[in-house]
């Protein structure tokens, strides 16, 4: 291989990497795709420095506690933080006094799709037979509901207009009955008065 040759980077990619360098998107050997991601990585560097200042490497349980807490709290979301977690993991694996399993580094991210990929989820295709059956069931349901409504309406009408007392026409029938009794009483009263008059006249 000629001197200076190695992995060749296309010119357009070289330009993009140069632009990232100029935008200061490189943190600890990682070239981030945006200034925001690079800033998050720098913040993670500060967190690592803080942890290192207060870490007691003399006690295995302290290292394990910091390692677990960092994973559970998701304080690291970039490769910079993950690299630090892997360092702690390696340190724990070398400890002979460790009595429990070391949890893996949880990344909480997905690598199956790149940023900018258009992900289109096709809508589920409904077979024509299923569509036809759905329409038929709907039409049948509407017809049955209309018929039921008509039957219920007819039942209410019959119950209301029936001579036999029921919960619907009870008051109506009761009023009619009282009116009939009142009319009969009035007729009897009139008949008695007429008889009294006739008796008086005869005397």
- Assign 86 a pLDDT band (cuts: 50, 70, 90): very high
Looking at per-residue pLDDT, the higher value among 99 and 22 belongs to 99
Identify the pLDDT of residue 132.
61
Q: What is the mean pLDDT of the chain?
A: 75
Mean pLDDT of 152-166: 64
Identify the pLDDT of residue 177.
63
User: What is the crossing angle of helices 79-93 and 60-72, to 10°?
Assistant: 150
CA distance 38 to 47: 14
Q: Which helix (H) or strand (E) holds 95?
A: none
Identify the pLDDT of residue 3.
41
Is 103's pLDDT higher than 70?
yes
Identify the pLDDT of residue 192.
79
Q: Which helix (H) or strand (E) holds 30?
A: strand 30-31
Percent of the chain clearing pLDDT 70 (strictly above): 64
Alpha carbon separation from 138 to 44, 131, 193 (Å, rounded): 59, 11, 72
Query: What pairing do the DSSP bridges indicate for beta strands 30-31 and 26-27?
Result: antiparallel
Identify the pLDDT of residue 78.
93
Encode pLDDT of 105-152 as tens digits.
988 787 776 655 554 544 555 555 555 667 777 778 888 878 887 877
Looking at per-residue pLDDT, the higher value among 185 and 14 belongs to 185
Identify the pLDDT of residue 140.
82
Mean pLDDT of 148-161: 71
Identify the pLDDT of residue 170.
56
């Amino acid at each position: 291989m000629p001197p200076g040759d190695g992995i060749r980077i296309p010119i357009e990619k070289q330009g993009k990497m140069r632009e990232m360098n100029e935008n200061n998107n490189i943190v600890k050997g990682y070239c981030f795709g945006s200034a925001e991601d690079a800033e998050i990585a720098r913040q993670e560097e500060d967190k690592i420095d803080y942890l290192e200042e207060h870490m007691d490497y003399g006690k295995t349980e302290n290292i394990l506690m910091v390692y677990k807490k960092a994973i559970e709290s998701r304080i690291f979301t970039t490769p910079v933080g993950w690299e630090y977690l892997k360092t702690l993991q390696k340190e724990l694996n070398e400890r002979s006094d460790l009595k429990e399993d070391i949890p893996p580094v949880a990344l909480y991210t997905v690598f199956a799709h790149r940023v900018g990929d258009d992900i289109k989820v096709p809508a589920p295709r409904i077979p024509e037979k299923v569509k036809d059956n759905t329409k038929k069931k709907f039409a049948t349901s509407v017809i049955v509901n209309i018929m039921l409504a008509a039957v219920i309406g007819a039942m209410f009408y019959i119950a209301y207009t029936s001579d036999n007392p029921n919960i619907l026409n009870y008051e109506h029938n009761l009023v009619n009955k009282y009116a009939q009794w009142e009319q009969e009483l009035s007729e009897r009263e009139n008949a008695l008065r007429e008889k009294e008059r006739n008796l008086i006249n005869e005397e």
